[in-house]
């Protein structure tokens, strides 16, 4: 269970760290200013939605630190050398199936199934992620 007084203390640390007022903080995480005021005064306890909005809008805020005081604020950046990264990649070999397999289904192996001859060939696949990044795979 979250101790409200400790949570408020940690919330004040966040406000100080980012040099924000309660009002601008409430606007940033898209909650009503009155909700922020009631929380800061101890009248209300933080909702799950409120906590998740903080963690979403402020990536330096660690969820466990915010809720329980465990961990660090701001989050410590982990530094990994190129060699360490290469070693970890060498240890984990993941085989990705090819999206551009030139083999067509053999109709003789699948009984009672007809395949239409498709003259189109796949040349590129683009994966779009919700953080705005993407990956492009070409043949």
pLDDT the model gives residue 137: 82
CA-CA distance, 87 to 52, in Å (whole number)? Answer: 34
Q: Is 2 left (phi over 0), alpha (psi -120 to 50) or beta?
A: beta
Residue 137: what are its φ and ψ, rounded to 5°?
A: -120, 125
Phi, psi torsion values for 6, nearest 5 degrees: -65, -40
pLDDT in tens, the chain (139 residues): 677 888 899 999 999 998 989 999 999 999 999 999 998 998 989 888 999 999 999 888 888 888 888 888 887 765 555 665 556 555 555 555 566 555 555 545 555 555 566 677 778 888 888 888 888 888 7
C-alpha 124/C-alpha 64 separation (Å) is: 41
Beta bridge partners of 124: 138
E strands in the chain: 124-128, 134-138
Scored b (16 or more CB within 10 A) or e, 44-60 reads eebeeebbebbbeebee
Residue tagged 């919700």 (tokens): 130
Q: Which helix (H) or strand (E) holds 6?
A: helix 4-18
């Amino acid at each position: 269970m979250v101790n409200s007084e400790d949570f408020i203390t940690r919330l004040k640390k966040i406000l100080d760290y980012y040099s924000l007022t309660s009002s601008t903080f409430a606007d940033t995480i898209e909650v009503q200013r009155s909700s922020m005021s009631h929380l800061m005064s101890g009248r209300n306890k933080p909702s799950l939605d409120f906590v998740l909005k903080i963690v979403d809008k402020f990536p330096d805020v660690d969820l466990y630190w915010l809720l329980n005081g465990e961990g660090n604020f701001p989050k410590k950046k982990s530094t990994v050398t190129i060699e360490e990264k290469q070693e970890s990649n060498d240890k984990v070999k993941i085989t990705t199936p090819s999206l551009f397999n030139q083999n067509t289904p053999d109709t003789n192996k699948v009984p009672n199934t007809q395949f239409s001859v498709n003259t189109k060939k796949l040349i590129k696949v683009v994966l779009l992620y919700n953080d705005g990044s993407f990956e492009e795979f070409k043949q």
